[in-house]
Amino acid sequence: MFNIGKLLACAGLMASLALPAAAQTYLTEDTSYDFRARAGVSVDWKLAGGLTLSAGEELRFKDNVSSFSKSYTDIGLSYKFGKHFKAGADYTFIYGNDIRHRADVFATGMLRAGRWKLSLREKFVLTHRTGEFNVYQQPVNALDLRSRFKAAYDIPRSHIEPYGFCEIRNTLNAVKYPGTTAATMSYSDVYINRVRTGLGFEWGLSRHGALDFYGLADYNYRKKYDAYGPSAKRHDYGD
């Protein structure tokens, strides 16, 4: 169903989508650095056939790991169709400065070539934001598409599996101002707003447990608007 050529071609297409955004010139802010950390646990239950129920909890820390950022509590259901395809859906409760509800559906193509494990995942994500915030700057329900290519290597006679991945995120309904005032605002802007790359390894402790360690490089790009209402708007690009 899947082969290496198809997976590499899809990965190349994902990378080429980022070129138009990179070629544009925008005002940018000064670069800032922060050391952050994440710690989480997840469990899977094989229900029947290829059906799997999963649940997990993750804590995130920021400001050089000195303060709490967010917690993610998720539950999901997936089904594996043979060796090369998996699909599913997840719900995530996000707690931080505000409360957010996130739902997603995904499809993953998988291929094993020798000891290499290759996968390409496409995920549609809907995030519902609660609390008080300016709807002229961001939508209540944000929709994005996340495309991730991952390659892992199974080291012979070892429980260690190193891997690398690249994920490109496209916002599908960001705030857009075709005119000069906020009265022209619509939720219709589509652009690449995040690129994530990572390297890590999974350490299998037993048939039923493993530890996962990784480092993540996260590039964010977001159009920023300072909008007060239908009659006033100031905008800057970049992030």
**In this structure, are strands 224-229 and 116-129 parallel, antiparallel, or unpaired?**
unpaired
Token pair recorded at residue 19: 């070129």
Residue predicted with more confidence, 9 or 38: 38
The C-alpha angle 232, 237, 239, rounded to 5 degrees, equals 125
32 CB-contact burial (10 Å; exposed 0-12 / middle 13-18 / buried 19+): exposed
At which residue do the structure tokens 């994440």 appear?
38
Is residue 56 within 8 A of residue 40, CB to CB? The reply is: yes
| Cα of 142 vs its chain's centroid, Å | 13
pLDDT in tens, 74-93: 999 999 999 999 999 999 99
Residue 7's pLDDT is: 45
To the nearest whole number, what is the mean pLDDT of the chain? 85
This prediction has a pTM of 0.79
Task: Report the alpha-carbon distance of residue 172 to residue 188 in Å, rounded.
Answer: 7
Q: pLDDT per residue over 174-231, tens digit each?
A: 999 887 778 888 999 999 999 999 999 999 888 778 888 999 898 988 888 888 777 7
Query: Which stretch of 27-36, 44-53, 84-93, 188-197 has the lowest confidence by average pLDDT?
Result: 27-36
Residues whose CB is less than 8 angstroms from the CB of residue 108 and which lie 6 or more positions away in sequence, other chains included: 85, 86, 87, 119, 120, 121, 122
Q: Given this model, what pLDDT does residue 151 score? A: 97
Residue 35, pLDDT score: 82
Element (H, E) at 98: none
Minimal CA–CA distance to 237: which of 227, 226, 220, 222? 222
Least confident residue range of 24-28, 206-210, 234-238: 24-28
**What is the structure's pLDDT at 32?**
65
